[in-house]
């Protein structure tokens, strides 16, 4: 077969991504049709910047999801095909089997793997980890930041000192100390996971309890149900092979539906750990500001409990800046994940995540551009999309 020309490569890539285009068009058509009924999300479609940002973000989300479903990838991201080492984009496979895709659309890397498929699979890793890690960081930050701002005093001094302590660490030094095979062997990341993953459960429990405290008949089954499920998820997340840390028994293997590999867990934990102090500071500042408002005083006069005021009076009124920061922070988390991959920390070296791929590609950068550039541009466009989305959201939420 002949090598593909530039035009043909682009056409074939666009065709490979057709499922993504369909999903994007459907999403945008539905959202624009019903935008007046969708609140802040709908207003996003009034601002061109927000729409571009949202489009970029959703593009990568769909690429990640459909990539994981094997709708997009042309080759296995880990398989090496002989004769394809460092081959330019559009090179045909020397002897393609029946049913095998005939070309490396974006060329081969220095281990003769398909760059295009690796980039698509890398999107899935980011889409899996970044939003979830950011969400966890927010749970930790909110659960600690609200009482620090609301109660103040010693609690605030102590928690702020802790947050500043973590913030004073250069992120990379922290990563180098936490994300090594030696530290994973000590079980420290699992212990940190045990502590950090507890916060979402505490958050949910307190959130629901403070709201429905006055209706015990409704509250008790609700709490038992939700906390039961989240506790089970919590134990399933952190226990591996029936144990929490080495000899401490955890969830029996029968009830443990999934295991997170140690490498992924430590990456996840350290990203949450690095992000939560900043969220803490933002939430604390917002709580300090909002607690002086009249509606908080009114709730206090009504005799509402402090947690009700914090979670149902202060938090909803702080949502604007928090949503904007959430978008920015997903972008920042993506950058952090890339940094980890770039330094070869945490994820296995053959993993197709963008940071590792950039790191591998940069070694031969002066001769071959194609292995390093696609993941670099992918990361750039995703983070840019998140930034634009945050900008659009900020503009639209300030408007009313």
CA 95, CA 275: separation in Å to the nearest integer?
Answer: 48
Total residues at interface with another protein (CB under 8 A): 47
Q: How far is the CB of 207 from another protein (least distance, A)?
A: 32
Q: How far is the CB of 34 from another protein (least distance, A)?
A: 28
CA angle 119, 122, 126 (to 5 degrees): 140
Asked if residue 361 binds another protein (CB under 8 A), the reply is yes
Neighbours of 371 (CB within 10 A): 26
50 close to 391: Cβ distance less than 8 angstroms: yes
Residue 103: phi, psi to the nearest 5? -135, 160
72 close to 66: Cβ distance less than 8 angstroms: yes
CA 213, CA 211: separation in Å to the nearest integer?
Answer: 6
Beta-carbon contacts of residue 94 (< 8 Å; ≥ 6 apart): 81, 82, 83, 84
Q: Please, which residue, 300 or 339, has the CB nearer to another protein?
A: 339
When computed from its CA atoms, the radius of gyration of the chain, rounded to whole angstroms, is 24
Among 210, 270, 333, 387, binds another protein (CB under 8 A): 387
190 close to 265: Cβ distance less than 8 angstroms: yes
Asked if residue 245 binds another protein (CB under 8 A), the reply is no
Among 24, 71, 78, 384, binds another protein (CB under 8 A): 384
Report 280-339 residues binding another protein (CB under 8 A): 331, 335, 338-339
* Nearest Cα to Cα of residue 271 among 368, 359, 166: 166
Q: Please, which residue, 10 or 174, has the CB nearer to another protein?
A: 174
Among 29, 30, 185, 195, binds another protein (CB under 8 A): 185
Instruction: Determine the 3-state secondary structure of 100 from DSSP.
Output: coil
Q: Residue 400: how many CA atoms within 13 Å on its side-chain side?
A: 8
Among 171, 191, 227, 264, binds another protein (CB under 8 A): 171
Asked if residue 90 binds another protein (CB under 8 A), the reply is no
Q: How far is the CB of 178 from another protein (least distance, A)?
A: 7
Q: How far is the CB of 248 from another protein (least distance, A)?
A: 18
Q: Please, which residue, 290 or 328, has the CB nearer to another protein?
A: 328
Asked if residue 96 binds another protein (CB under 8 A), the reply is no
CA 322, CA 300: separation in Å to the nearest integer?
Answer: 24
Asked if residue 155 binds another protein (CB under 8 A), the reply is no
Report 17-76 residues binding another protein (CB under 8 A): none
CA angle 349, 360, 179 (to 5 degrees): 40
CA 178, CA 172: separation in Å to the nearest integer?
Answer: 10
Q: Please, which residue, 236 or 384, has the CB nearer to another protein?
A: 384
Q: Please, which residue, 339 or 397, has the CB nearer to another protein?
A: 339
Residues that bind another protein (CB under 8 A): 161, 164-165, 167-173, 176-178, 180, 182-183, 185-186, 188, 331, 335, 338-339, 342-343, 355, 358-359, 361-362, 365-369, 372-373, 376-377, 379-380, 383-384, 386-388, 391
């Amino acid at each position: 077969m002949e090598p593909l020309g530039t035009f043909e490569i682009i056409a074939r890539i666009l065709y490979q991504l057709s499922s993504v285009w369909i999903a994007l068009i459907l999403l945008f058509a539905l959202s624009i049709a019903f935008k007046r009924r969708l609140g802040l999300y709908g207003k996003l479609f009034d601002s061109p910047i927000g729409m571009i940002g949202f489009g970029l973000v959703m593009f990568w989300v769909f690429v990640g999801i459909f990539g994981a479903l094997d709708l997009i990838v042309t080759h296995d991201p880990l398989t090496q095909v002989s004769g394809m080492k460092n081959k330019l984009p559009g090179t045909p496979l020397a002897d393609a089997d029946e049913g095998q895709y005939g070309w490396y659309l974006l060329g081969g890397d220095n281990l003769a793997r398909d760059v295009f498929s690796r980039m698509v699979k890398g999107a899935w890793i980011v889409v899996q980890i970044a939003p979830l890690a950011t969400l966890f960081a927010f749970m930790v930050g909110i659960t600690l930041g609200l009482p620090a701002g609301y109660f103040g005093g010693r609690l605030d001094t102590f928690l702020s000192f802790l947050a500043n302590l973590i913030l004073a660490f250069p992120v990379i030094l922290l990563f180098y100390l936490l994300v090594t095979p030696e530290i994973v062997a000590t079980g420290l990341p699992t212990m940190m996971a045990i502590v950090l993953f507890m916060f979402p459960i505490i958050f949910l429990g307190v959130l629901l309890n403070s709201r429905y405290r006055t209706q015990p008949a409704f509250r008790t089954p609700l709490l038992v149900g939700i906390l039961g499920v989240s506790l089970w998820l919590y134990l399933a997340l952190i226990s591996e092979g029936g144990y929490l840390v080495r000899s401490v028994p955890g969830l029996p293997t029968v009830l443990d539906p999934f295991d997170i590999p140690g490498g992924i867990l430590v990456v996840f934990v350290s990203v949450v750990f690095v992000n939560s102090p900043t969220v803490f500071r933002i939430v604390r500042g917002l709580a300090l500001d909002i607690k002086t408002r009249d509606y908080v005083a009114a709730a206090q006069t009504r005799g509402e409990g402090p947690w009700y005021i914090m979670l149902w009076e202060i938090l909803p009124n702080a949502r604007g800046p928090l949503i904007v920061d959430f978008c920015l922070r997903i972008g920042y988390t993506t950058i952090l994940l890339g940094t980890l991959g770039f330094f070869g920390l945490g994820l296995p070296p053959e993993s197709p995540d963008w940071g590792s791929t950039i790191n591998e590609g940069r070694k031969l950068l002066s001769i071959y551009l194609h292995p390093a550039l696609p993941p670099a541009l992918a990361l750039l466009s995703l983070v840019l999309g998140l930034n634009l989305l945050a900008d659009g959201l900020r503009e639209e939420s300030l408007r009313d």
